[in-house]
Amino acid sequence: MTTPNNGDTVTIDYVLKRGDGEIIGNTEEVGPQQVQLGAGQIFPAIEEALTGMSVGDSKTVEIASDNAFGPRREELVIDIPRANLPPEPAPQPGMALNAQAPNGQPMTLYILEVGEEAVKADGNHPLAGEDVTFDLTLREIQQAA
């Protein structure tokens, strides 16, 4: 049986769950995903699991928060004066804002609260600080040339 190696492109199905088992994403919604192993496109723990699998195999991979979306950082929760936001659309809790980090990198902020003078926004990934589990199924291997 063939197993994938670095440089190979694999097609996978997955179910992504929070640490408590709640399903928060899967390929039923977005279709099978193609990933090139060794290209840094997915978490290292998933790459490692895939390199030992054959087509049709399934595996569950648990990833601690520090190795998934990172720890939750309270310094990324900030207040933004409403005067600094465009008037439309009106800010709402859960809305995503595109911003620029101090180092110039683009980042996404999620509005937590809307006040009269400011909004509280969170620059953490929505899954920061959470352990996650991926149920993987290897569908196809395209060996590197």
Closest CA to 131 of 50, 43, 48: 43
Domain annotation for the chain: domains and CATH numbers: 9-69+128-142 (3.10.50.40), 74-122 (2.40.10.330)
Please tell me the predicted confidence (pLDDT) of residue 1: 65
Q: What is the pTM of this model?
A: 0.80
Helix (H) or strand (E) holding 49: helix 44-51
Please tell me the predicted confidence (pLDDT) of residue 23: 95
Residues of the chain with pLDDT under 50: none
What is the amino acid identity at position 57? D
Which SS3 state, helix, strand or coil, does residue 75 take? Answer: helix
